[in-house]
Structure 1
Amino acid sequence: MSKPLTSLFRSGFILVAALSLSQPLSAIASEANGDLKGAKLRELLDQSGIQCHDEKTFDCATGPYKVNIHSDCSVAPYYGAVYGQPTKLYTKADSVENDPNTLTSLAEDQLICIKATAKYGISDVAYFIMAMPDDRFENCNTADILCRVSAPLPEPYSTAMKHCKRLENGEITSCPQGWVKADAIEPYPNGLQ
């Protein structure tokens, strides 16, 4: 290949690569990948008290904290579990330390989906979570975390989870949701493997 032709080929390749990278992430992302948009994003914002200055770039906050919004729990859940002892769910991220009013409590090892993370600087302060139904893990025969969360729950946790279920279309409904202290949750950034 001649030198001018090689140079022209490289320039064209660089231009195509630059144009493809210049596309905003929101244009590349899709609801099929679990990205929260439209009605699902508005529902999360209403439930959690999160406010976004720009929903497309997820420039969001709650109280004094910056917030990272995660994916849809039905499509691409960011899993975790209640860690060490039962935990309480709160209505606001800035009340997880001292608010006597709680929504409900979740049992130790309860499988959850992290919908949003409230951060102070680089530290996670609180998570907005949703308890996950345990019917997905019915065929457990080992002692790992998924099997422990499938065990029958004692009261008051069984009442809190009574109506929590996964519908035939994959949507999750009637599961407890709220803010919890970050140290009450063990996140699973690599999924359930």
Structure 2
Amino acid sequence: MSWFSTARLAAFGVVGAALAALVWLAADRFSQKAVADASEACEKAASAPAGDLGKCGPNITTRIAADRATVVCEGALLPELRDEKRFTASQACGPGAKRLIAQGDAQAAEIASLKTALDKVTADTAAAVTRAEERGRAEQTRKNNARQIIDDAPRSADGRIACDADCLRRLAN
């Protein structure tokens, strides 16, 4: 073989290797583009509240479902949303979250019961104070009347009160 044949074979080998590398790079580029498109479609589906996760892989689908369940559970843990999310929480939450929700409900019921009892005690106390004030006013009125009757009663020469039958009747009332 001549050196020209050897060089020609080497050149064809280099050109062939370069073409093979270009073909491989083009195929890899299209493969990467497909992965990127699938990833973008999966991301759009994941960001939607009820998006179709069919474009995502099984691991990603499981994680997204777990994240969605977590969001539902966190919403159910808020007392102001608890009534609206009761069924959803019972379906999506695990036993620990369900236990927390039940404890929160029990505490809310106990708080409501204690508020009712406190309102009743407050009302009873207010009524008792009103009755005591009325009794005190009536007692003070009786004392004032009795003092006025004694002050108006006739006095003897030595300054003693001489309370007759009419005076005693008025004091008894």
Q: TM-score range by the shorter chain?
A: under 0.3
Question: Quick check: which one's helix share is greater?
Answer: 2
Per the normalisation by structure 1, the TM-score is 0.24
Higher relative contact order (CA 8 A, sep 6+): 1
Question: Quick check: which one's strand share is greater?
Answer: 1
Q: Which has the larger radius of gyration?
A: 2
